[in-house]
Structure 1
Amino acid sequence: MRYSLNHKAETRQRLIEQAGSLAKKNGFATTGVDGLMASVGLTGGAFYSHFSSKNELFKEIIQKELMDTLKRFLPEDANSSADALRQLLALYLSPTHVKHPELGCPLPILSNEVARSTDDIKQVYESNVIEIQQSLAQILKDEDTAWATLALSMGAVSLSRAMSSDKTKKQILEACKNFINRSLDHLTNEDSSNEQSQ
């Protein structure tokens, strides 16, 4: 039975979404083709009618997941306040995000796998991460603080996931959240001082 092009596109999209969720939960390298295909009700042999390789799927996952992260965790309005960013960071640096990697940002779990990947995958990853960083920089009005906020947030979630006790997980998240908030306070105060002196 032949399926329509629309059906094939929908199946491909379902595969990308399911593979993204599985990769964020278990890592991409451990996500087998047969298991992935079975999770959407298909046989392993059908994989190659949707993707030329597992690397192609990985690139698609990175593209989709990082764009979803941009939409989910960053305000659409580049003129959003530091307060809006604080609220978003509270969601990102939360026990829920730590406990459910399959529902959150791919950066903390997939970065190590990307580091071991091919240059074309690294390029897709880098261009998307830069887009996230640039969105942060527009809000923060500072490129370096945007990189530091991104790296610290990602590292906090990654490190927390590696801890066994909830107490230590919470300490890491709170320490990083407090540090970022102090940085935001400093930037906000600096901006206010500059406006008053003009």
Structure 2
Amino acid sequence: MRYEKGHKEATRKHILDVASRRFRKDGIAATGLACIMKDAGLTNGAFYAHFPSKAALVEEVLITSLEDFNNEFVSRLGENVSQLHEFIRVYLGTEHRDEPKSGCPTSALVAEIGRAPKPIRKAYTTSIEDFFGRVSESMNGTDPALARQQGIALFALAIGSLQLARAVTDKQLSEEIMQAGIEVAIKFTA
């Protein structure tokens, strides 16, 4: 059966999108290839026409999803400070907390990435290094080393706040954690 031009690339992108959402929702270890392919509306055998292994899929998902997130975050740094503050409020908002499948890949997966095989951690490291470099470049008028340090601190604060807010069962405490993260991040970037 012949497919139209671009079919294979579109199918590969679809698998990446489905896997990205599923990994962020359920975790990498808890997500099997059969589940991803079923969600994608494809057979298990079709997977290997696009990726040699689950590890290769995880690497590519991390690279593409981090690139998307990084582009959005860095674009906010180049805008006025109120735009950055709005991004912080959205990042540490109820919707992002409750819908990890469509949110930041780092906040959803960083604990698993830390225990992943070295090639996956290396792909993540490369992406996060690129992110921190772009953050320091986008903060005009700031010493690049200081901008990098501030970008790392802001990112770590936001991720830690979101992970803690997701981990607790008490909704009021979860809201308190997110609000504290928002207030500190805004003071830090004011």
Superposed pair shares fold, TM > 0.5: yes
Alignment partner, residue 139 of structure 2: 139
Q: Deviations over 1:165-186 (max 9, x none)?
A: 221111011111111111123x
Greater displacement, 30-39 / 53-62: 30-39
Unaligned runs of 5+ in 2: none
Alignment partner, residue 81 of structure 2: 82
Unaligned runs of 5+ in 1: 186-198
Aligned mates of 1:102, 1:170 — CA distance in 2: 20
Aligned mates of 1:166, 1:72 — CA distance in 2: 28
Matches within 5 A, 1:74-113: 74-75=74-75, 79-113=78-112
State the 1:46 CA deviation. 1.6
| Contact map agreement 1:134 1:146 (CA 8 A) in 2 | no
Aligned CA RMSD, in angstroms, stands at 1.7
Alignment partner, residue 169 of structure 1: 174
State the 1:115 CA deviation. 1.1
* Paired residue type of 2:48: Y
State the 1:57 CA deviation. 0.1
Alignment partner, residue 151 of structure 1: 156
Alignment partner, residue 12 of structure 2: 12
Aligned mates of 2:40, 2:108 — CA distance in 1: 23
Q: Highest CA radius of gyration, 1 or 2?
A: 1
Alignment partner, residue 124 of structure 1: 123
Aligned mates of 1:99, 1:54 — CA distance in 2: 26
State the 1:3 CA deviation. 3.5
Alignment partner, residue 58 of structure 2: 58
| Contact map agreement 1:108 1:154 (CA 8 A) in 2 | yes
Q: Deviations over 1:80-107 (max 9, x none)?
A: 3332211111111111100000111011
Greater displacement, 99-108 / 137-146: 137-146
| Contact map agreement 1:134 1:143 (CA 8 A) in 2 | yes
With over 3 angstroms needed to count, the CA separation of the structure-2 counterparts of 1:100 and 1:79, relative to structure 1, is closer
TM-score by length of 1: 0.86
User: Is 1:26 aligned to 2:26, yes or no?
Assistant: yes
| Contact map agreement 1:81 1:139 (CA 8 A) in 2 | no
TM-score by length of 2: 0.89
Residue-pair matches, total = 184
State the 1:2 CA deviation. 4.2
